[in-house]
Amino acid sequence: MRFLLIVQGEGRGHLTQAIALTEILENNGHTVVGALVGTAHGKDVSSFFSENFRNKIIPFASPYLAYCPKTKALDITKTITHTIFNLRGYLSSLKKIRLHTKELKPDIIINFYDVLGGIHQLLFRSKVPMVCIAHQYLLLHPNFHHPKNHWLDKLLVNTNTRITALGAAKKLALSFTPFADAKNQRIFAIPPLLRSDLSRLSTNAHNYLLAYVTQHSLAEQIMAWHDKNPGVEMHCFWDNPDYSDTYQYSPNLHFHKINGKKFLEMMQNCRGLVTTAGFESVCEAMYLGKPTFMIPVPKHYEQACNAIDASRAGAGISATSFDLTAFMNYLPSHKDISAEFKAWHSRSSFIFLREIESLFNIPERRTFRRLEVLPQLVKRLALSLVSPSTRS
């Protein structure tokens, strides 16, 4: 079968999953014809992805999250404003997705949480079935435990998640642990999609902490804590454009440009991981048996959910700031759950291929029955606006 990937290119999580899935598909005799990657400006694709994805890459402009430069918090208002101002560009992106879908002739589209991927499926009513993959689909599961007193955040995130899956035949929810399927909502839990490089690593315990921050501005909090604890050795990966290589803040604190291979090499030997609760980094730490300290980006509801779910799974602990004192106290009591996690992860290929193969037993009209509702509603609305005297 021929697969076309549509990938939300913000951060490295969905990109890493796309690389891992490509390995699974190609190892099982399938073809990945290319990847449409959504970026803020529709031009630059992460070098991490371009260096590790050997097939055709087509960038396109897609909605992205905006952050407040002062508070480092997710700025919902700015995110929505940017989206509205860039609507013309996003319409061009939809046409681009349609053009390349026709050109590449996939049998299945795999959407890694890109909003325009779902809207494309709705507007153009593609006959090619689409499967969506992301941890966020687990947030739609009726048994998922959400943070309390965040009903608006929950509504906004779940609305965005549903848009990415418009017209999807299935929603494959990446989960830290086995989770019951919600078949009535077409939500099927699958193990995390991790790079094969992990299986080739041998873990050791050195005395340094490893950190990964999705925004380089958050590094200021790490520096502030380190100033009070200069004896703790730390290595941090960031995306600061002002530094092309390693920046040595002090003898025991180094900042490295994001590099997937180097990050994994350092993770296998670290004492523990400090991260902004991104799903992928936490999974890698669980696989390698490294305790994790998770600090969700302020007002980033998805990361708050990740932190709660990962703590439930035994990955580590979470906090609201990069005050690492609590983590240092936690480290001696951490229980290594890597054996259980590896057993769950080892089923990735089998479960994914099983869910994909079952697609071809689903009648087309059933797969897309939700898409058929919208034109009917639009037609009824149009008729209701026409006065009785003008109707034919």
User: Are residues 225 and 177 located together in one domain of the fold?
Assistant: no
User: Are residues 79 and 201 located together in one domain of the fold?
Assistant: no
Q: Is residue 386 part of a domain?
A: no
Closest CA relative to residue 35, chosen from 4, 2, 3: 4
Q: In what order do the strands lie in the sheet with 2-8?
A: 57-61, 31-39, 2-8, 108-112, 130-134, 170-174, 187-190
Q: Is residue 74 part of a domain?
A: yes
User: Are residues 185 and 218 located together in one domain of the fold?
Assistant: no
User: Are residues 126 and 147 located together in one domain of the fold?
Assistant: yes
- Res 368: pLDDT: 39
- Res 377: pLDDT: 44
The dihedral region occupied by 189, where left means phi > 0, alpha psi between -120 and 50, and beta the remainder, is beta
CA distance linking residue 156 with residue 111, whole number of Å: 20
User: Are residues 129 and 6 located together in one domain of the fold?
Assistant: yes
SS (H, E, C) the chain: CEEEEEEECCCCHHHHHHHHHHHHHHHCCCEEEEEEEEECCCCCCCHHHHHHCCCCEEEEECCCCCECCCCCCECHHHHHHHHHHCHHHHHHHHHHHHHHHHHHCCCEEEEECCHHHHHHHHHHCCCCCEEEEEHHHHHHCCCCCCCCCCHHHHHHHHHHHHHHCCCCCEEEEECCCCCCCEHHHCEEEECCCCCHHHHHCCCCCCCCEEEECCCHHHHHHHHHHHHHCCCCCEEEEECCCCCCCCEEEECCEEEEECCHHHHHHHHCCCCEEEECCCHHHHHHHHHHCCCEEECCCCCCHHHHHHHHHHHHHCCEEECCCCCCHHHHHHHHHCCCCHHHHHHHHCCHHHHHHHHHHHHHHCCHHHHCHHHHHHHHHHHHHHHHCCCCCCCC
What's the N-to-C CA distance of the chain in angstroms? 48
Q: Is residue 280 part of a domain?
A: yes
Q: Any residues with CB less than 8 A from the CB of 339 and at least 6 apart, and which?
A: none
- Inter-residue contact 41 to 86 (CB < 8 Å): no
Residue 110 in tokens: 């795999």
Residue 53 in tokens: 């994805």
Give backbone dihedrals phi and psi of 294, rounded to 5 degrees, phi first.
Answer: -110, 125
Q: Is residue 387 part of a domain?
A: no
User: Are residues 118 and 48 located together in one domain of the fold?
Assistant: yes
- Res 216: pLDDT: 72
User: Are residues 173 and 24 located together in one domain of the fold?
Assistant: yes
Give the CATH number for residue 17.
3.40.50.2000
- Inter-residue contact 323 to 100 (CB < 8 Å): no
User: Are residues 299 and 373 located together in one domain of the fold?
Assistant: no
The total of structural domains in the chain comes to: 2
Residues paired with 110 in a beta bridge: 5, 131
pLDDT along the chain (392 residues), means of 10: 93 89 94 93 81 91 74 68 79 93 95 95 88 96 90 89 94 95 93 89 84 81 94 91 88 90 89 92 94 90 93 95 94 95 95 88 43 43 40 35
Find the length of the chain. Answer: 392
User: Are residues 90 and 232 located together in one domain of the fold?
Assistant: no
CA distance linking residue 71 with residue 218, whole number of Å: 9
- Res 357: pLDDT: 86
- Inter-residue contact 135 to 173 (CB < 8 Å): yes
pTM: predicted TM-score of the whole model, two decimal places: 0.83
CB-count exposure of residue 323 (10 Å: 0-12, 13-18, 19+): middle
User: Are residues 246 and 286 located together in one domain of the fold?
Assistant: yes
Structural domain containing residue 117: 2-191+347-381
Q: Is residue 275 part of a domain?
A: yes
Q: Is residue 388 part of a domain?
A: no
User: Are residues 9 and 60 located together in one domain of the fold?
Assistant: yes
Q: Is residue 390 part of a domain?
A: no
User: Are residues 42 and 167 located together in one domain of the fold?
Assistant: yes
- Res 376: pLDDT: 47
Q: Any residues with CB less than 8 A from the CB of 388 and at least 6 apart, and which?
A: none
Q: Is residue 148 part of a domain?
A: yes
